[in-house]
Chain A
Amino acid sequence: MTNVLVCIKRVPDSSGEVLLTADAQAVDARFVGFTVSAHESCAVELAVRIAAAGGGAATVLALGPAEAVEQLRAALGVGCSAAVLVEADPVGFGPADVAREIAAVVAAHQAAGRTYDLILLGNDAADTGDFQVGIRLAYELGRPVVNGINTVEVADGAAIARGAGADGGVETYRVPLPAVATVLEGGVEPRYPTITGRMKAKKITVEVVEPRPEPAGSGRVLLTLPPAQPSSVEVLGEGTGAVPGVVDLLRTLGVIR
């Protein structure tokens, strides 16, 4: 039996225009809505598959405001069977703080008889882009960690994880459980929730945990938007009429002879 904990984060959807709050401490998401990163959607999918294959359970965790229950419910809707919310304003929490909070939940659950063989996180959060929570969590727990993996399976008490290497090849890791792994998008296709999945998710009580007081913080001073670059585009023409000009340009740039 393999029990999996998967950690997600409620983040503003920044695929469109990005606005900042008046105090320049956060992105103003009032008009764009919230989501989780693509990496984490894949981590949830992997967690659900591993739990199902090994007859275990997948638990989803988020550190965020009360509204993050929305993202937790989405994960419950695709097959996680329990959810934990560490209720806090994430702006005040640096990556080391978040790792400590997750580790505290893992320790509390372990004391109550619920252990996690594998903990999955996204490789990096879509908003803060710190690239370190999973690794810091592994050190907090004294477990091995593999980073930036696309797929992970469990066999004979070990996690077999695969990801892209620096030279474009596929690298395989084999680490004994319990372990931590951070996931990059691309290895699995996240499933959509079914109607029955959603109905089930509504009935599950989300465990709400209070964080410890006085986090160290992230060091954030303020956010700024990069200066808008004035457009200097040279339009070569419309439709196929532009084609001779395009091929001339390709020759000038030296990409064709």
Chain B
Amino acid sequence: MILVFVETDGSGATEASLETVTFARDLATRESGDGGGPVHAVVVGALPDGTVDQLGAYGVTEVHHATGEAFSAYGGAVWAAAIQAAHLATAAVAVTATGSPRGNEVLAHFAARLGVAMAANVVGCPTPFAVAQPFAVSRQVFGGAVLEEMRLDDRPAVFSVAGHAVEGAPSTSTTTATLREFTPEVAEADLVARVVSTEPGEPDRSGSLRSARVVVGAGRGAGSADGFDGVVELAGLLDGSLGVSRVVTSLGWRPHHEQVGQTGSRISPELYIPCGISGAIQHWAGCASSKTILAINTDADAPMVTRATYAVIGDMHEVVPAINEEIRRRRG
């Protein structure tokens, strides 16, 4: 049995968690190997209405929901204690989560508590999973510039699944998931490092960048802190968010929460419009899952241009204001 730590937001399981459930289901149903058996989910804290049915549609047969005062606020150790209790109850042979900040954190706690290895940001499995066989995973290292094949001999096999490694897809066979509520006992020590307060983010913080349908990007080509008027206006006209490359935040031109890349936000918009961004691998790591990329750059050989879907070869300071003008003109 494969146990997936599923994260929820206001409406149900997160997109990334549904991808991980899909990944686990694919692993469990491979023809060779024993696949590890059915897929169970474990949810800690809030379980929005409809989540159990949603997970059932993705092939989960049982949802373990950890309830109790101990889980009212987030803490890596105490949430991992809940995963540990669910693992003990189910004897799962593999435990996984999405490679989100929280997914990696909770899994790392879980792996440390059990004294087993953990592989972060897995994108595929070269060999089928079998309980008693060597198991290897392929995972992202160097911010996605390099893939590592890693052996994961410990059981349970603990690994996180990189965002967008697979597309989330409901199961073709109908499954009804059963809900099993449980309230694990937790040690005092596990309650020490919990969130004590949360302030809501500012309206334009990275949360909205990550979920934006359209992102307009700007890099070194902006030229200075005063070079963002055009891209800010374009983002506004397209009802999108502004994202910037690392050099822009390092130079202090824009705040860090607008940064897209390995050490910033990872975005997956319908359309990304990088302007004056050459496309270093660290930036690519943050924007590779954009559905369509329209690059605006003076250098036709820049990696951002060659990897884009569409490109305009030109200076962003000329092209972007002209696009804004044309959009306004057509709107009348």
The answer to whether A binds B is: yes
The chain A residues found within 8 Å of chain B, CB to CB, are 12, 14-16, 18, 20, 27, 37-39, 94-96, 123-124, 126-132, 135-136, 138-139, 142, 144-148, 164-176, 179, 184-186, 189, 218-226, 229, 231-240, 242-244, 246-247, 249-250, 253-256
A147 interface neighbour in B76, B311, B318, Cβ under 8 Å: B76
Q: A169-B199, A219-B151 are in contact. Are A233 and B307 (CB under 8 A)?
A: yes
B314, A128: Cβ atoms closer than 8 Å:
no
The chain B residues found within 8 Å of chain A, CB to CB, are 7, 9, 74, 76-77, 99-102, 104-105, 108-109, 111-113, 115, 117-121, 136, 139-153, 160, 189, 192-201, 205-208, 210, 213-214, 237-240, 246, 249, 252, 256-257, 259, 262-264, 270-271, 280-282, 292, 294-295, 300, 305-315, 318-319, 322-323, 326-327, 330-331
B147, A226: Cβ atoms closer than 8 Å:
yes
- CA of A249 to CA of B270, assembled, Å: 13
16 chain-A/chain-B pairs, Cβ below 8 angstroms: A27-B142, A27-B146, A127-B142, A129-B142, A132-B120, A146-B193, A169-B199, A173-B195, A185-B264, A219-B119, A223-B146, A223-B148, A240-B314, A242-B314, A255-B239, A256-B330
- CA of A37 to CA of B282, assembled, Å: 12
B105, A18: Cβ atoms closer than 8 Å:
no
- Expressed in whole angstroms, the minimum distance between the Cβ of A227 and any Cβ of chain B is 10
A171 interface neighbour in B147, B198, B239, Cβ under 8 Å: B198
Instruction: Please indicate the chain B residues that have their CB under 8 angstroms from the CB of A170 in the complex.
Output: 198-199, 201
A96, B117: Cβ atoms closer than 8 Å:
yes
Assuming A131-B105, A253-B271, what are 19 further A-B pairs, CB within 8 angstroms?
A126-B143, A126-B262, A146-B76, A164-B201, A164-B206, A167-B9, A168-B205, A169-B207, A174-B196, A176-B192, A225-B146, A235-B300, A236-B310, A237-B312, A239-B318, A243-B319, A243-B323, A249-B310, A253-B292
Instruction: Please indicate the chain A residues that have their CB under 8 angstroms from the CB of B194 in the complex.
Output: 173
